[in-house]
A and B are shown apart, each in its own frame.
Chain A
C-alpha cells in the first residue's frame, strides 16, 4: 500500500535541451524558454510585458531575438527552447526591432518613471523625437478614484500585466480588461466605470506588476506630487503579514520611518508576489502619526 509521494522526493531528473545563443551552447531545462536560455548565458535582455509570476503574453516585442530559419523575429519570453535552435540576440535585425519598439513607445507614452526602459532606449539609440511633436499621444486624465491607488494611463504601455494579474494568472477578479482596439485600446473597467464601482477588490496586484508606474500606490503618488519620493533613502524589509494565517511575505518599503509601499517577493512560494487588500494596504495603523501608543 502506498500513498502518493511528494514529487520533489521522487527525485525526477530534469531533462534539458541545448540551444546556441550568440554562438555559445546553452542548456535549458525542458519546457524552458529562449529567455531562460539567455539568462543562463548571462545575456541581459530587455523585457516589459514579461514577469516570472505571469504567463507570457509576448505583446511588447522588446525581447525579440533572431532564430535561424524563422522568417520573423521571435519573442524570447514565450518561445519554448527546442533542441538545436540557433539564436542571435544582438544581430542588426534584433537591434533594429528593439530600438523601434522602444522608440514607438517613447513617441506615445510617458516613460519618465520607467527607468529600465529609458536605459534600454539609450542602449539601442531609440529616438522618439523623430516622429515630431504632432505624433499622437495617449492623452488620458489621471484617474484618482480612491485612497489606495491611482491610474495614470499616459504612462501605460499596454503590456497586459495588470489584466493578467487581475485575471487568471493570480487574482481571478477580472475587474479590468483591455477595451477598444489599436492605438485607442485602453485598460478599462466595463464602460470605464470608476474602480470602486467595479469588481475590483483592491488587492493591488496590478500595481505590483506595472512596469512604468502607470499604476501607482496613492502613497507614492502623493509623495511624488510633493517632490518627496526618495527611493534612494528607502529601506526594504521582508516580514510576514499579520492579517491571517497564510503567511504572506511582505516587503515593507520605509522612508523616514514611515511605510510608503508594500510589495511581496515574486519568488516566494506562498504569495508569488501577490497580496490581498489587507496585506497591501492595511498597515496604516502602524504609522507613528496615528498610533495610540
Chain B
C-alpha cells in the first residue's frame, strides 16, 4: 500500500514474458470492470513474496535489474519501486548499476578459504576464454577448489563441476545415520528412495501422533546444527502450541558459511530425505506450509529438491492428504540471491517475504512470530535429517551415539590441506586429530584449523585432541558452528586469509546495525594495513582497538553475523598466528 509512481522506463517484451512466467495468474490489482477495481493491502501482502522470484527472472533475462523491468514487476505486484530497488540491490546475484555489456553468462569464481590459492588462475582462465567473471565469496564447494558457479543468461544456472556420480568419502557406510543413502540412492527417484528405507519414518510418525514424536525428539536431546544449538524438540513444541491457524515449516538451506557444503551434499544426493523430514515436522507441529530456501548458488540442489517435491506430490506424500494422514502440507522452493546474512533465520523470513534480508530483533522468536509473522519451525537440513533416525529408532537408541551433552552424530565439512576433503559424519566426541586422519591426514605441515567457518575461530595443533562436542568446544572458547573444519598448512598466508575474512564480513554485513556495519569496515581496514606490513608488528594500541571493536560487535550487534564478525581475527591474534612482532 503506497503512493506508487513509476518512471517512464518500460520493460522489454522478454522481461515481461520472463516475469509473467514466474507470476502466474494472480495480480495485486484486478481491473474487473471500467468502474470496478479490486486491490488493497491484503492482496498486496499476499503476493509480495513473489518479488524475489520475479527479480531472479529479470536478472536471468536481461543480465541486470533494469529500470523498466523493475517498473513492470512493481506494477504487477504493487510494490513501491524504491523498496523493490532496496531489495534488488541487497543481493550479490542481482546487478542494479548498469546493463551488462555482453549477452553471456557470468562465471562466479570463489576467492575464499581453500579456493583462494587457485582463484587468480581460475579467473585468468575464464577471462582468457572470453568469459565474464564475478569474484564471489564461498560458493559452498570447498571440497573441490577452485569453486565456480555459472550464472546463466536466458538459460539455467550451473555449477561447473557437476558432482555426479557422487562418491561418499566414508565408502563402507558403517555408522552413518545421515549420510547412509548418499551415493547409494538415486537422488532423482522416489522409488529408489523408498527401496532404501525412505518414508518409513513418516508413516511411523503419523501413527505415533505429534505428542509421541515430540516426546522422542525432546528425549533425544537433538539440538540445531546451524550453530546456535537450540533444542529442536523444544522449538517444535513451541510451534505446535503457538496460537494461529497458519503455521510454517522452513528448511534453511541458505548454506553460506565459508567452508560449509554439507547441506548441498545432502540436497544433491538424498533430496527426498529432506522432504520426508520436513513432512514429519509439518504433521508434528500442525503446519500446512513448507518452504525450502536454497542459496542461489546451488542450482543442482535446487533442481533435485524441486524434482523430489514433484514426485512426492504425485505420490500423495505432499498435498491435501499427506500419506493418507488427512493432513495438508506442501512445499514451495525459494532461491536466495547471494547474501550470507539470509542464513540468519529472521533475515531468511524477510527474504522470502520479498523484503531486504535484514535480521529482525528477537524476541519475539520464530516459533510464534516467524515467516509472515506466523508460527514457524525453521531448521537446517542436517538437523531435520536427524529426525528420521530418532523417529525410527527412538530417542534411547539415538542417544547411544555421541556424548551426554551432545548426543548423535555430526556432519563435518573438511576442506583445505587434507588428502580427501568432503562431508564426513562422525559421532560427537570425535577428536580433531581423528577427523583429520579420517580425511587422509594433513597435506604439508599443519599451521592452523579454522573451526566453524569465517564466524568461528582458529585453533592450532595444540587443540588436536580436543573432543568435538558442543560442551568441549564451548569450554575451549571456540565453536563447532556449522561443522567447518578448514585446514591450513604452513604455506598459507594467514594474514591474507584473515584480511579476506574481514573483507567477507564487511561485504556481507547487511548494514542495519552500527556495530557490525562500521565495525566490519574498521576491522578490514586494520587487516589491510597489517597485510601491507607483511602481517607483523601490530602495535599494542591497535591490538586493543581490535579487542574493543570485537567486544562491541559481539555484545551489541543485532544478529549472529555481527556477534561473530571479529572472532576469527581475534583468535588468530590471540594465538599469535598473525600480527606478532617480527
Interface residues of A (CB under 8 A from B): 57-62, 64, 72-73, 75, 78-80, 93, 96-97, 100-101, 104-105, 107-108, 130-131, 134-136, 157-158, 160, 167-168, 172-185, 188-191, 193, 197-199, 201
Contacts and interface: CB of A to CB of B under 8 A. Distances in A.
Contacts, number: 176
Interface string B83-126: 11110011000001000000000000000000000000000000
Given A73-B556, A189-B82, A60 B511 contact: no
A146 to B, nearest CB: 15
Interface string B536-566: 0000010001001101101111100001000
Chain B interface extent, by class = 35 or more
B466 to A, nearest CB: 22
Interface in B509-540: 509-515, 517-522, 525
Contacts of B517: 104, 158, 182-183, 185
Contacts of A179: 82, 85-86, 89-90, 96
Given A183-B509, A184-B511, A198-B5, 16 more contacts: A57-B512, A59-B558, A61-B513, A100-B552, A100-B556, A101-B514, A104-B515, A167-B83, A179-B85, A179-B89, A181-B89, A182-B521, A190-B67, A191-B67, A191-B96, A199-B82
Contacts of B507: 181-182
Contacts of A136: 521, 525
B86 A177 contact: yes
22 contacts: A58-B513, A61-B557, A72-B555, A75-B361, A97-B515, A97-B552, A104-B514, A104-B519, A130-B541, A130-B545, A136-B525, A172-B2, A175-B3, A177-B80, A177-B86, A177-B356, A179-B82, A181-B507, A185-B510, A190-B70, A199-B82, A201-B3
Interface of B: 1-5, 7, 67, 70, 80-86, 89-90, 96, 339, 356, 361, 363, 506-515, 517-522, 525, 541, 545, 548-549, 551-552, 554-558, 563
Contacts of B519: 100, 104
Contacts of A135: 522, 525
Contact of B86 (A105, A131, A188): A188
Contacts of B363: 79-80
Contact of B515 (A101, A173, A176): A101
Contacts of B509: 181-183
Contact of B548 (A61, A72, A80, A96): A96
Contact of A190 (B84, B356, B506, B511): B84
A160 B358 CA distance: 12
A190 B85 contact: yes
Nearest to A173: B3
B520 A182 contact: yes
A72 B521 contact: no
A62 B514 contact: yes
Contacts of B339: 181
B511 A158 contact: yes
Nearest to B553: A100
A191 B195 CA distance: 53
Contacts of A180: 89-90, 511
B5, B86, B508, B511 interface centre (most CB from chain A within 10 Å): B86
Nearest to B356: A178
Q: Which of A97, A181, A188 has the most B CB atoms < 10 Å from its CB?
A: A181
B274 to A, nearest CB: 29
B506 A174 contact: no
Nearest to A166: B82
Contacts of A201: 3
A104 B557 CA distance: 13
B558 A58 contact: yes
A252 B23 CA distance: 50
B518 A183 contact: yes
A173 to B, nearest CB: 4
B521 A183 contact: yes
A66 to B, nearest CB: 9
A153 B111 CA distance: 32
Give the one of A79, A107, A178 with max B CB within 10 A: A178
B86 A178 contact: yes
